[in-house]
Amino acid sequence: MIKYHGKQVYEGIAIGKLYWHHHGKKDIKKRAVIDIAGELERLEYAVSTADEQLRCLYEKTVKEAGEEQALIFEIHRMMLEDADYLNAIKEMITEGVNAEYAVFSAEKQFVTLFAAMDDVYMKERAVDIQDISQRLIDLLSDSCGQEIHTTEPVVLLAEDITPSEIISLNREQILALITRKGSVNSHAAILAKGKNLPMMVNAQIPNPVELDGKLVIADCFEGEIYVEPEKAVVLEMSRRKELWNKKQQELLRLKGKNNITKDGRSIKIYANIGNEKEVSDAIFADAGGIGLFRSEYLYMDRTQPPSEEEQFQSYKSVLEQMPGKRVVIRTVDIGADKQVPYLLNETEQNPALGCRGIRLCFEKPDILMTQLRAIYRSSFYGNVAMMFPMVISVEEVKILKKMAKDAKEQLTEEGFECNDVPIGIMIETPAAALLSERLAKEADFFSIGTNDLIQYTLAIDRQNSHMEDYYNEVHPAVLQLIEMTVQNAHKAGIEVSICGELAGDIMLTKQFIDMGVNELSVPPVAVLKVRKAVIES
């Protein structure tokens, strides 16, 4: 038995075969596909994303090294449009083969063709074919959920994982997720919690390929990975797993109970979701509402933004599933690790400090207007509210409110029935917390995004695993900013929620209640745990 270590992200114990998910050529397996249209759509997505990546690379290289150096990326873009190459791939897919393998085969065919040419220039194009094919394969492999084909659920080991990959994972196939890189505070980690998926990051596994197919135990409480465990270890871990399941079952008894502290204070406990499918988890957990709908996930894994109608249907579906209950839609927060290539034009050096959240909306107002119209249209179907991410000034809020007003007026003129929608602000930058007294006069409510508030207050990249020791959630500066925000909100007569991961930390529940926080919004799986902590406070 060998034991490796990792960092715990989300608790749980998984026992099963390990599946090493490796992006790259070596792993390209031929697989029969039935959904040919779906496979062609995946190819189309990969081609357009590759094109966008190459365009950005071209522009960046022109700026940094000049036109001559950048030319190669234009050549790659042209090759990506080559009808013969693309048709060869599409033909194979149409015959019922997976897109990765089709690209891999076309690459082999074209490399041989170019390599055999007499013309030196044409000969060299063989390398370019390899290059663009690898780019396509990498992009296709990004949807790792679609690539995992196992006969039984597995412990998935990957180098790293992006938010959009987590979204595409088939939860039923995965017992636990382990990554060799990654950070505890990333959006990928938040999404894993949302999926109730035990997870560890930073696993110190030197030779992952050797573990492929072996029986492992992922102890995501302690951050331990046991490879080919001895019988006694399997028995002990199974016992602990059972105990954990029992505890979870016991929590279910709190369903239907009120969130009232010992001294009679009532706290709202809401759920955070990323799409309309997760509402069922929130309902199952007896959440009082949705305190954070991370709408940006609707924009991922596609080639263009969701239309007004698509968004409207999604918001309406959430509202109808939660009749009378408050649903807070956070307007799109793309940027940083939530990459949406078709909307982000430039590769930034510091994306967390770059064009993120409302900043992207100011650059592309159509994106926000479409979303605002969809939110107002959905207001007819339930108790919806909206909030804006990454605010740093009062002026920004005034502009955003004006845009919201315009959207509502447009719709009314067009004959839609819509209600007033409360407008909140996320307090997730130190600037917003420090200006909270003034911002409170402009907002209907505050929601404190502690994940970013910690990152920006402490100047610690939440994505950087090497900096995790500095990412101190209970740093006095952070707690002071939270307390100040709550006080300023109450002074102005508005409510304040915490929707960052800290809201689910039951060691802090009492402290937050004492500060006067009105609502805690947590992943659905944490709702009952927090209810218990409130009742015991």
Residues that bind ligand PEP (CB under 6 A): 190, 292, 294, 333, 428, 449-452, 499-500
Partner interacting with residue 199 (select from ligand PEP, Mg ion, none; CB below 5-8 Å by kind): none
Which of 147/452 has CB closer to Mg ion?
452
CB 429 within 8 A of CB 452: yes
Could you tell me which residues come within 8 angstroms of residue 283 by beta carbon, excluding any fewer than 6 positions away?
Answer: 321, 322
Partner interacting with residue 142 (select from Mg ion, ligand PEP, none; CB below 5-8 Å by kind): none
Residue 65 CB neighbour total at 10 angstroms: 10
* Interface contacts to Mg ion, rule CB under 5 A: 428, 449, 452
Which of 219/501 has CB closer to ligand PEP?
501
Q: Smallest distance, Å, CB 172 to Mg ion?
A: 29
Partner interacting with residue 488 (select from ligand PEP, Mg ion, none; CB below 5-8 Å by kind): none
CB 133 within 8 A of CB 103: yes
The yes-or-no answer on residue 187 being catalytic is yes
CB 7 within 8 A of CB 202: yes
Which of 295/379 has CB closer to ligand PEP?
295
Q: Smallest distance, Å, CB 467 to ligand PEP?
A: 16
Residue written as token pair 């089709």: 102
CB 376 within 8 A of CB 411: yes
* Distance separating alpha carbons of residues 285 and 193, to the nearest angstrom: 14
Q: Smallest distance, Å, CB 467 to Mg ion?
A: 17
Could you tell me which residues come within 8 angstroms of residue 1 by beta carbon, excluding any fewer than 6 positions away?
Answer: 226, 227, 228, 229, 230, 233
State the catalytic residue, choosing from 21, 23, 76, 187.
187
* Distance separating alpha carbons of residues 356 and 391, to the nearest angstrom: 10
CB 274 within 8 A of CB 194: yes
Partner interacting with residue 259 (select from ligand PEP, Mg ion, none; CB below 5-8 Å by kind): none
Which of 352/492 has CB closer to ligand PEP?
352
Nearest to 458 by CA among 472, 448, 479: 472
Q: Smallest distance, Å, CB 369 to ligand PEP?
A: 22
The yes-or-no answer on residue 144 being catalytic is no
E strands, 207-283, are: 215-219, 224-227, 268-273
* Distance separating alpha carbons of residues 158 and 200, to the nearest angstrom: 11
Which of 200/499 has CB closer to ligand PEP?
499
Partner interacting with residue 294 (select from Mg ion, ligand PEP, none; CB below 5-8 Å by kind): ligand PEP
Which of 229/335 has CB closer to ligand PEP?
335
* Distance separating alpha carbons of residues 60 and 216, to the nearest angstrom: 44
Residue written as token pair 């990412």: 471
Partner interacting with residue 450 (select from Mg ion, ligand PEP, none; CB below 5-8 Å by kind): ligand PEP
Q: Smallest distance, Å, CB 450 to ligand PEP?
A: 5
Q: Smallest distance, Å, CB 537 to ligand PEP?
A: 22
Q: Just list the catalytic residues.
A: 187, 499
